[in-house]
């Protein structure tokens, strides 16, 4: 499923190879047609917006959105585990899931980075990928809403993921995320406060956030089993987010 690699490239830090591959990325999205027509057209329109743009301007915009703003973090476990002690074990488990499919990430990259997560999804058959992507659907929905508030075209990437997964986000989990601070990237005082919050330590019981992380962790453990029809041949090289799709 090369569409997931295409979406991974769009969500990765902008580079000249990415800009050079815009037509190729668009062709993959069109050819596989995993996203419904509305989302597919919006993705292609987003790619068109990148054309002719200054690379440094794109990099600055990306940094403001995804690096400076915690509520827009592309690290999935930031939204699932926060800074709880469970996050470290979740990283270890997710790395093991990748390696079971011969995906060996760059050791400098955290396993829960969404572009890497989408690279892993590209190794699965479509139904297995949909089942995996369904679990963080509430995270994708919250990110789409936060990007819409900022008039960011990146919103469509998350809408496309939800549509491809055919997922309906869990309402309780989504409300937990909606209640979290979402400061503007130029509100430095609010951003500092968000990063200085006390570590999250979800306990047992009916806490929706706890339910969400347990569900995702269980699904990742299931993903260690080979997906039906998936063949792995040999050792896969270290993945460095190449845009060669």
Contact in structure between 209 and 76 (CB atoms under 8 Å): no
Q: So what's the pLDDT on residue 237? A: 26
Q: So what's the pLDDT on residue 143? A: 96
Separation CA 129–CA 206 (nearest Å): 28
- At residue 225's C-alpha, the angle toward residues 125 and 99, to 5°, is 90
Separation CA 153–CA 243 (nearest Å): 20
Contact in structure between 61 and 135 (CB atoms under 8 Å): no
Domain layout of the chain by residue ranges: 2-226
Each residue's pLDDT expressed in tens, for the chain with a length of 245 residues: 899 999 999 999 999 999 999 999 999 999 999 999 999 999 999 999 999 899 999 999 999 999 988 899 999 888 875 555 666 677 777 888 887 877 877 777 888 899 999 999 999 999 999 998 998 999 999 999 999 999 999 999 999 999 999 988 889 999 988 888 877 655 555 445 554 544 433 333 334 444 344 445 444 434 333 333 333 333 322 223 334 44
Separation CA 139–CA 142 (nearest Å): 5
Contact in structure between 14 and 58 (CB atoms under 8 Å): yes
Q: Is the pTM value of this prediction over 0.95?
A: no
Length, in residues, of the chain: 245
């Amino acid at each position: 499923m090369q569409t997931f690699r295409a979406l991974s490239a769009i969500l990765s830090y902008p580079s000249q190879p990415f800009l050079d591959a815009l037509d190729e990325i668009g062709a993959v999205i069109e050819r596989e047609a995993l996203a419904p027509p509305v989302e597919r057209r919006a993705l292609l329109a987003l790619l068109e917006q990148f054309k002719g743009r200054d690379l440094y301007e794109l990099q600055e915009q990306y940094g403001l959105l995804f690096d400076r703003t915690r509520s827009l973090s592309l690290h999935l476990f930031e939204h699932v585990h926060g800074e709880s002690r469970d996050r470290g074990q979740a990283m270890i488990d997710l790395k093991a899931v990748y390696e079971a499919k011969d995906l060996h990430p760059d050791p400098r990259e955290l396993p829960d980075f969404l572009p890497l997560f989408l690279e892993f999804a590209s190794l699965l058959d479509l139904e297995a990928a949909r089942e995996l992507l369904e679990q963080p659907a509430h995270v994708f929905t919250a990110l789409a809403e936060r990007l819409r508030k900022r008039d960011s075209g990146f919103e469509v990437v998350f809408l496309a993921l939800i549509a491809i997964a055919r997922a309906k986000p869990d309402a309780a989990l989504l409300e937990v995320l909606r209640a979290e601070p979402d400061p503007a990237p130029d509100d430095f005082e609010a951003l500092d406060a968000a990063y200085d919050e006390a570590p999250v330590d979800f306990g047992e019981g009916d806490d929706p956030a706890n339910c969400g992380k347990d569900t995702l962790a269980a699904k990742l453990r299931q993903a260690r089993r080979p997906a039906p029809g998936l063949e792995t041949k040999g050792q896969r090289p270290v993945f460095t987010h190449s845009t060669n799709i």
